[in-house]
Structure 1
């Protein structure tokens, strides 16, 4: 079958008790693999671009084929859509082959679509009272911050108004000016952080706390609104949004829940094991981007740092700062951790200096010393940009392309942004491909062993499973076997596994 948006169709079929099998081509996924940076993968947009054909689209179809028609005109429109799907399928067969993405579609993206449809349908159980308590707590913290902000300047003002905030910060209080914008001076999070370090006044710190608590409140409100009648939250996974190949989620966006703060983790306590199941299992890859970088760069020192079994950032810091491992302090480790991840994300010396609150010169020296010790990483990063400039694209280990025409732009800002994307895309894209392979392997093993346990979520490098009674040991064993062996890397993959009644308590 040739379809447009297989996952959505599978969800609808499943809700009717039907199964959609034999999907050989998905025109939305194909367009994504051929042009991952596109804004729209809607059927009418693809039809115009690839077939030169305008489509009449029923207003409420959301780009998806509808299931029935009320009148002759609508039936004709639906038939033209169906014909366009078939013709696009034929057009994409050749294009997928041209960009080496036919295997990616058939062996990875289409099977992942089918798995995601089942995960969306299953959803994850929610503890509504817990989430409502969290929402009240964040609402109270927001109000407290408002009161403190008003008290700190001696009068009321609207904290949500950039104009009023600018007047208070730079007019009344006379604080140092931040970066100039069209409407005055910026008051974004980075500017407030900078101001907090430049002045004794408490308002910038209060504002940062206000925004953080308001964001957490909005996140929790969004979760509560999406609890369905079955008591579960059914997020929608997006397969064609991130050009690197990463999955994202909407309604609600589960990647919005911060995992590095106590409050974010407390929100995860609102996701619980459902009725008829024993526990949740979480499994995630440890430092996957850095392991991919070590593999792609073939840097012997970095690979050795991973295979030694010691703490990676301490081992690397001891080499960069030329001290014994026991002499690496917390600050050295913090700098190296920021540096290593920064390189995997195309961070510049200036960006690193901002992140570590050091001068650009000091950041550049730190980078230079790092590259002296890990020359393979330096050579790899240079090679990636050079090759992408010559070919117009980067590639992951599995051949997923990211096109970057701005690499040859005469505009310096656009060119530098494209260079950062070129550094990041093969590493993040390969990590994304590995996670998808792991999901399929784990799901296949669950089916083969006839287990009732099921996969519910995929967020960042983590998967969450709901484990049926009596299956805990079997599920842990198959996760520990399948995930580290999804692909073979020079710096072996490492997986952490945790159990618990909630997503938070299952963390590891």
Structure 2
């Protein structure tokens, strides 16, 4: 409830909420394991716990009133609370892990990290610590005299963007080696994290959180499954380590194709974009042919790539400058691309303007299901803060509506599985994808049910489209 009333707040801890909404400070209860062993000295302990219980009750009343004010009662009772109960079951189920495969991957990434260290040392002729920003600065800008990057308090930055920029500016191989080193180190720590969390039952039980992302998306920790890259070969190899468990036949993945863009088409009511979806052709190719004014058959990979980045960028509040960086093109070229896009899809431009104007007037944005995100910085005097809030205002209704739809879809799929008396079960939700474990002989029935429930989770002007795949592991179940 606190999250729906104010999703941007930092802490949802009971004591913080008690101070803010009840004007009451809570004494901390010190029982480390939550168990009470009453003895002579335990009166204070008991009273602290009773005060906490009382605060929960009183906050319930205080929030019920506020939920009514922000129009979120239905969202709490029909979406968030049932999702909470479903996520608890998903966490208990966990997903089976192939430990040997993951350990072999960890060795492979560790070897690649060591190899990159050797190459980095060889490229400058001496050893240095690749993890020390100070030593990196000395090597890059002192010894090698490479072009200066953005200045920070501690010197010139050597973050990933700076390394990518340096790689394009210089013939020296070190920036490329450094990028590879960081990528392999990141993958190694991802796999290490997965191995550590394999429980005694041979399964990984992640923890889902509903109150971290202000847009309404779920996040996961211990391990963070959203850290497993989707589109790279290494990411796919890691997903190979998530397997079907004993007593089950296969894993099934189901996700929405281009859900944000369908939501954007629906909210903007742009006829051109809705038509592009309805044509059943490849969306990005169809849009590219309109923006560049060529036949569909004349659209090349580069044109399609630019339009794909452009379309998704708009749904995430990307500026012309951001688009230029993403596509490594000139900001002027990015601006022209945006303007041409908007000429073709005027409804999208008008919608995006309208969202920011309305949010500036009301102080918040809203999803189709009424999830609000408050953005006080829209009227800030500080240009950077104001522009960041504008990007959030563009992104929140689209991303938030997509998140709401995924939650509704999960609840509907879970309910339908139960009503059909099936043993197959849901295991994970990552981004727009749901992962299920199929019981022997239930595949066809589950697929039909998943497609029906997911595509019916919301009725959009650009109808939802569901992709389904089945396999022995998470990677081979991709589609």
Q: Decide: shared fold, TM above 0.5.
A: yes
Distance 1:304 1:60, change over 3 A: farther
User: CA offset at residue 367 of structure 1?
Assistant: 0.3
Task: Indicate the SS of the match to 2:9.
Answer: coil
Contact 1:37 1:403 in 2 (8 A): yes
User: CA offset at residue 360 of structure 1?
Assistant: 0.7
Partner residue in 1 for 2:325: 354
2 CA distance for matches of 1:388 and 1:80? 39
1:68 aligns with 2:36: yes
1:498 aligns with 2:466: no
User: CA offset at residue 256 of structure 1?
Assistant: 0.4
1 CA distance for matches of 2:304 and 2:251? 33
Partner residue in 1 for 2:249: 278
2 CA distance for matches of 1:69 and 1:366? 69
Task: Indicate the SS of the match to 2:437.
Answer: strand
Contact 2:31 2:45 in 1 (8 A): no
Partner residue in 2 for 1:182: 153
**What is the TM-score when the length of structure 1 is the normalising length?**
0.93
2 CA distance for matches of 1:260 and 1:197? 23
Task: Indicate the SS of the match to 2:117.
Answer: helix
Partner residue in 1 for 2:48: 77
1:270-303 Cα shifts (integer Å, max 9, x gaps): 1000011111000000000000000000000000
- Number of residues paired by the alignment? 476
1:249 aligns with 2:205: no
2 CA distance for matches of 1:506 and 1:59? 47
Unpaired runs of 5+ residues, structure 1, are 1-29
1:239 aligns with 2:207: no
Partner residue in 1 for 2:175: 204
Task: Indicate the SS of the match to 1:483.
Answer: helix
Q: Please, what is the CA RMSD of the aligned residues?
A: 0.9
1:59-90 Cα shifts (integer Å, max 9, x gaps): 4669xxx4535422211111111100000001
1:161 aligns with 2:132: yes
Q: Which runs of 4+ in 1 moved over 6 A?
A: none
2 CA distance for matches of 1:296 and 1:68? 53
1:228 aligns with 2:186: no
Task: Indicate the SS of the match to 1:482.
Answer: helix
2 CA distance for matches of 1:58 and 1:459? 35
1:355-384 Cα shifts (integer Å, max 9, x gaps): 111111110000000000000000000000
1:316 aligns with 2:316: no
2 CA distance for matches of 1:77 and 1:475? 49
1:469 aligns with 2:440: yes
1:215-271 Cα shifts (integer Å, max 9, x gaps): 000000000000111111000000100000000000000000000100011101110
User: CA offset at residue 48 of structure 1?
Assistant: 0.7
Pick aligned residue for 1:489 from 421, 438, 460? 460
1:397-427 Cα shifts (integer Å, max 9, x gaps): 0000000000000000000000000000000
Contact 1:254 1:459 in 2 (8 A): yes
1:338 aligns with 2:344: no
2 CA distance for matches of 1:297 and 1:154? 57
2 CA distance for matches of 1:69 and 1:319? 72
- What aligned pairs does 1:84-99 form with structure 2 within 5 A after superposition? 84-99=55-70
1 CA distance for matches of 2:148 and 2:93? 51
Contact 1:69 1:75 in 2 (8 A): no
Task: Indicate the SS of the match to 2:474.
Answer: coil
